């Protein structure tokens, strides 16, 4: 069987066009990212800081949780006061450590909304501009 060069060129052009069309279709109709996430274009540390500012300083924890937490986010403190709207929650951030998509916040949450003062370490995992996981560890600080 003999194949001409013109046929091979035409075949390679058709395969290239099909490949380009497949990439276009995938990126146009099935994007893997969420452009509506509040953290689009922000560093993970900025996402956590913005969430905490809204949840603690402004008292809009329910609004913050809906916006900043992914729908399938895992949270071992899902009933925490910072996920409910109400009065602002006084808190003192002692340290924020960010590495890659992980942000760790060491902070003291003052007594508020009927809850006692707590010293906590929150570990946040960020994915696609949202908080995908939060692990809260209650601890005790000296002064």
Percent of all residues in the chain with a pLDDT value above 70, rounded to a whole number: 96
What fold is seen in the domain 44-139?
Nuclear Transport Factor 2; Chain: A, (3.10.450)
DSSP 40: T
Q: Which residues pair with 8 in a beta bridge?
A: none
Angstrom distance (rounded) from CA 25 to CA 14: 16
Q: What pLDDT, on the 0 to 100 scale, is given for residue 31?
A: 59
The residue-averaged pLDDT of 92-109 equals 96
CA distance 49 to 43: 10
pLDDT tens sequence across 34-86: 677 888 889 999 999 999 999 999 999 999 999 999 999 999 999 999 999 99
- With H, G, I as helix, E, B as strand and everything else as coil, classify residue 104: strand
The least confident of 19-23, 34-38, 43-47, 93-97 is 34-38
Residue boundaries of the structural domains of the chain: 1-30, 44-139
What single DSSP character describes residue 83? G
Mean pLDDT over residues 115-133, rounded?
94
């Amino acid at each position: 069987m003999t194949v001409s060069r013109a046929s091979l060129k035409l075949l390679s052009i058709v395969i290239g066009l099909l490949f380009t069309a497949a990439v276009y279709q995938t990126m146009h109709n099935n994007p893997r990212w969420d452009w509506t996430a509040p953290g689009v274009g922000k560093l993970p540390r900025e996402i956590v800081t913005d969430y905490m500012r809204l949840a603690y300083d402004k008292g809009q924890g329910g609004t913050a949780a809906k916006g900043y937490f992914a729908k399938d986010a895992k949270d071992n403190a899902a009933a925490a006061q910072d996920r409910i709207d109400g009065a602002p929650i006084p808190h003192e951030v002692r340290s924020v450590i960010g590495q890659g998509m992980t942000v760790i916040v060491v902070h003291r949450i003052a007594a508020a909304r009927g809850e006692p003062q707590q010293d906590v370490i929150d570990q946040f995992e960020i994915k696609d501009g949202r908080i995908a996981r939060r692990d809260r560890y209650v601890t005790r600080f000296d002064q």
